[in-house]
């Protein structure tokens, strides 16, 4: 397994996607809990609490997964601050070299241009 240019978050990417999906799914439960409460037959408060908790835990987990393994820089938050609104997530998932410490999974970013 010698993929050149493997992204830092390549091995976490599916986990981050799952937490992202959970975060998105939790949003309507927070804002329109009554719809889900009547569907599930429970109190709206429980739907609201469960959705808020899911949102927070999923988002925290995604943020935790998105850290640089070397220096701990949060690539998800870094992308939010430094990239455009529409592209920060793609940037975070596709970053190959840590913008702070220069860490990369291949570790051979210096030896480019080797014709062969």
Quick check: 33 and 51 in contact, CB under 8 A?
yes
Q: Which stretch binds Zn ion (CB under 5 A): 26-34, 48-56, 71-79, 104-112?
A: 71-79
Residue among 24 and 82 whose Cβ is closer to Zn ion: 82
Cα separations (Å) of 78 from 33, 47, 101? 32, 32, 13
Cα separations (Å) of 24 from 3, 31, 46, 54, 96? 31, 12, 18, 10, 26
- For the CB of residue 100, give the shortest distance to Zn ion in the complex, in Å: 5
Residue among 36 and 77 whose Cβ is closer to Zn ion: 77
- For the CB of residue 75, give the shortest distance to Zn ion in the complex, in Å: 8
Q: Does residue 98 bind Zn ion (CB under 5 A)?
A: yes
Phi-psi sector, 104: left (phi>0), alpha (psi -120 to 50), beta = beta
- Give the one residue of 71, 82, 87, 90 binding Zn ion; rule: CB under 5 A: 71
The footprint of Zn ion (CB under 5 A) covers 68, 70-71, 73, 98, 100-101, 103
């Amino acid at each position: 397994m010698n993929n050149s240019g493997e992204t830092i978050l390549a091995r976490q990417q599916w986990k981050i996607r799952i937490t992202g999906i959970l975060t998105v799914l939790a949003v309507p439960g927070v804002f329109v809990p009554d719809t889900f409460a009547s569907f599930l037959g429970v109190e709206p408060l429980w739907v609201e609490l469960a959705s808020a908790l899911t949102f927070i835990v999923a988002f925290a987990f995604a943020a935790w997964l998105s850290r640089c393994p070397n220096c701990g820089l949060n690539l998800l938050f870094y992308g939010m601050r430094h990239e455009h609104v529409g592209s920060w997530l793609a940037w975070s998932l596709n970053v190959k070299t840590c913008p702070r410490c220069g860490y990369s999974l291949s570790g051979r970013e210096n030896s480019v241009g080797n014709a062969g």
